[in-house]
Amino acid sequence: MPKSLTKKLDKAIEKVASATDLLLAHSLSTGFEEVTPDDFMVPFVSVVQKMSAEVEEGVKPGSLINRATQQVYESVTVVPVYFKKRFVLWTPRDLGGGFKGEFLPGDKLVKEAVYDKDANKLKVGTDELTETAYFYCLNIVEDGPPEPVVFSMTSSMLKSSRQWLTIAQAKKIKNGDEWVPAPFYANSYRVEVSQQTNTKGSWYGLKVSLNEPVEDVHLIKAAIDFYKLVSGGSVDVDRKVEQGSPDSTKEQF
């Protein structure tokens, strides 16, 4: 640490009256100086299905779970900051499993993928190509800073993705005398779990509803900062626990 900074900290420490004051005085030196966005991953929040491994550990099916912290929720309130749709290529678990890459809908590999009617999957050779909607959000935490999280939606959950986007794109804000599309992060949303069924069975899916406009300037700033990281390609996710991967348990039809 530069000597000039050390002296400033020493002077600040002399004036503090509490642990919080001391931490704030020392905030110029956090210990994270050499951490970059490549050194951490945004955690997934996923639905716990009937056959999920967490059920054996006592987690109730139909719950939401943060795959990094293992915190369980009945519902969460989030501020979405960025949406993207990709086609993700996976090697099936019985062939070794693993993430093989993600592709845009217009990419050649996606256009040339073959639909396997029996498996109801897009295939590239023996690998599976999964249409996936990603919602990067800030999870609003009571009495704490917002937490970056991501939801991935595949298969039947893509219906929830379309519903969320339909609600969000209908929102407007006033700019002078005209109404203009509101940024995704202009409103917060409640995300909870609902049981769904079809002729093939039942499973738990996501239900998204509009909560309220975001009026906290600090939350808006945090959303903009997270948006810049995601849109700039500076964040990563843990593919091993991604909903829809061969290593995750899924019961979507």
Task: Name, in order, each residue with C-beta under 8 angstroms of 103's C-beta and a sequence gap of 6 or more.
Answer: 86, 87, 88, 89, 109, 110, 129
What per-residue string of b and e applies to 218-228 under the rule 16 or more CB within 10 Å gives b?
ebeebbeebbe
Summarised one tens digit per residue, pLDDT across range 5-50 is 555 555 555 555 576 676 666 656 667 667 666 666 899 999 999 8
How far is it, in rounded angstroms, from Cα 174 to Cα 23? 41
Does 65 have pLDDT greater than 60? yes
Q: Give residues with Cβ within 8 angstroms of 232, minimum separation 6.
A: none
pLDDT of 98 reads: 87
pLDDT-based confidence at 224, cuts 50/70/90? Answer: very high
Which tens digits make up the pLDDT trace of 186-222? 999 999 999 988 877 888 999 999 999 999 999 999 9
Average pLDDT over the chain reads 85
pLDDT value of position 252 = 47
pLDDT digits (tens, 9 = 90+) for 85-97: 999 999 988 888 8
Alpha-carbon gap, residue 107 to 86, rounded angstroms: 10
Query: What integer is the mean pLDDT of 163-173?
Result: 96
What is the pTM (predicted TM-score) of this model? 0.82
Q: Are 194 and 157 in contact (CB under 8 A)?
A: no
